[in-house]
């Protein structure tokens, strides 16, 4: 059995941010990442102004991710539309690019990163990997994203009676469509779901959907659902008509869940700490903020500081997850189209600010 004083499980934004913080401070640690090569994770891709501040604190220049900025949001429900400027500039980036840059910075600073290691089970502070190895640690930083690990899985009750699925597809836009989306992010509302659309650093468009299982089952397959939405939502139809890539999917996303208590030696990060509805665009912000603040808490108070840190971080998540959950319930209602005349730019900006994770 190997032993390490601090073990990070997961090399996404939350895990990489933790590793950067610990490596900067010269704190010994090991990070395990199951992929040998960085892929393009389904979730995330929008970085709010708050996320850009956190990245700057980690030594990451946002222009390395995407020099273009997102400054406006468009909201569609049926044939109705609302538009507003964001409170501050944001950006859209592929998870491949974001994860690559963050993990490379951690390695540059001396982080102990081991790739191609899949964690199968966690028992107290002992980790068992797919190849049969075991690692024991005093402080475990759980940064596995939406992927649950046996022994520390989030409760099944968090999924609800009609669970949400995440769908994602990359689209190569025509020049005209690319120009229409430049500097914007679009949100398309429909019965029991919504879709977000933004241009990424490579010129492709990222189309992400959060859909209740009942809506997908009514349509059939993910592709049949997209085709139906293309017919029903005029503003989205031209984009869906250009889909050639396969549709990626993730099941049972527990939107609205957050851990409210803590225990010594366990830091739950990112989506393992709380899952904000994706229409808020703050999932990456929560991941980064959790890694930064957990690394700082460990430096101050060691493994025993995890319990107090977790409770404090849950408090920081209460407002953004609560507001985003309320907006989500309204957005997924089939009557949302009739509320659109009440949506004003000032209201959009207020909601955008209220769904950011507060500074530490």
Q: Is the residue at 200 inside a domain? A: no
- Which domain, by its residues, includes 300? 2-158+254-354
**Which token pair is 23?**
């490596």
- Report the CATH number at residue 85: 3.50.50.60
Maximum Cα–Cα distance across the chain: 62
Q: Is the residue at 237 inside a domain? A: no
Q: Is the residue at 94 inside a domain? A: yes
Per-position b or e across 230-246, b if 16+ CB within 10 A of its CB: beebebbeebbeebeee
Q: Is the residue at 278 inside a domain? A: yes
Q: What distances in angstroms separate CA 131 from CA 116, 118, 152, one per listed residue? A: 10, 8, 19
pTM across the whole model: 0.95
Instruction: Quote the strand ranges of the chain, DSSP E.
Output: 2-9, 30-33, 46-47, 70-77, 80-92, 113-115, 119-123, 126-129, 134-142, 164-171, 184-190, 193-199, 205-212, 248-253, 266-268
Q: What is the pLDDT of residue 342?
A: 63
Q: What is the pLDDT of residue 325?
A: 94
- Tens-place pLDDT, residues 1-47: 899 999 999 999 999 999 999 999 999 999 999 999 988 887 778 99
Number of domains in the chain: 1
321-325: long-range contacts at Cβ-Cβ below 8 A with a sequence spacing of 24 or more?
A: 321/256, 321/258, 321/274, 321/275, 321/276, 321/277, 323/280, 323/351, 323/354, 323/355, 324/276, 324/277, 324/279, 324/280, 324/282, 324/355, 325/255, 325/256, 325/277
Q: Is the residue at 219 inside a domain? A: no
Q: Is the residue at 359 inside a domain? A: no
Q: Is the residue at 218 inside a domain? A: no
**Which token pair is 315?**
């408090």
- Tens-place pLDDT, residues 300-352: 999 999 999 999 999 999 999 999 999 998 888 766 666 666 677 888 888 89
Kindly report the backbone phi and psi dihedral angles of residue 146, in degrees, each rounded to the nearest multiple of 5, phi listed first.
-80, -5
Q: What is the pLDDT of residue 156?
A: 87
Pairwise CA distance, residues 234 & 341, whole Å = 18
Q: Is the residue at 175 inside a domain? A: no
Q: For the chain, which residues score pLDDT lower than 70? A: 334-342
């Amino acid at each position: 059995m190997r032993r390490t004083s601090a073990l990070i499980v997961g090399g996404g934004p939350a895990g990489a941010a933790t590793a950067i913080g610990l490596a900067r401070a010269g704190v010994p640690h090991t990070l395990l990442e199951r992929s040998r090569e960085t892929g393009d994770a389904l979730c995330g891709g929008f970085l709010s102004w708050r996320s850009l501040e956190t990245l700057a604190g980690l030594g990451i220049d946002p222009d390395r991710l995407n020099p273009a900025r997102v400054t406006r949001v468009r909201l569609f429900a049926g044939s109705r539309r609302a538009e507003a400027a964001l409170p501050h500039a944001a950006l859209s980036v592929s998870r491949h690019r974001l994860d690559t840059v963050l993990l490379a910075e951690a390695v540059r600073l001396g982080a102990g990163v081991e790739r191609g290691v899949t964690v199968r089970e966690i028992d107290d502070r002992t980790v068992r990997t797919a190849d049969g190895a075991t690692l024991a640690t005093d402080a475990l930083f759980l940064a596995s994203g939406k992927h649950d690990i046996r022994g520390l899985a989030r409760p099944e009750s968090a999924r609800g009676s009609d669970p949400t699925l995440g769908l994602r597809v990359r689209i190569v836009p025509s020049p005209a469509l690319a120009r229409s989306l430049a500097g914007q992010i679009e949100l398309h509302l429909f019965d029991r779901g919504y879709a977000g659309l933004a241009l990424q650093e490579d010129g492709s468009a990222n189309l992400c959907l959060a859909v209740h299982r009942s809506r997908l089952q009514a349509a059939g397959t993910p592709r049949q659902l997209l085709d139906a939405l293309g017919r029903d939502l005029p503003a989205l139809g031209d984009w869906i008509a250009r889909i050639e890539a396969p549709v990626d999917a993730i099941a049972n996303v527990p939107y609205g869940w957050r851990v409210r208590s803590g225990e010594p030696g366990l830091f739950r990060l990112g989506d393992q700490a709380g899952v904000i509805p994706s229409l808020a665009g703050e999932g990456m912000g929560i991941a980064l903020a959790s890694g930064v603040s957990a690394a700082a808490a460990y430096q101050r108070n060691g493994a025993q500081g995890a319990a107090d840190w977790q409770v404090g971080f849950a408090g920081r998540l209460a407002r953004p997850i609560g507001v985003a959950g309320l907006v989500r319930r309204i957005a997924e209602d089939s009557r949302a189209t009739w509320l659109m005349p009440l949506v004003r730019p000032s209201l959009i900006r207020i909601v955008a600010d209220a769904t950011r994770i507060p500074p530490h």
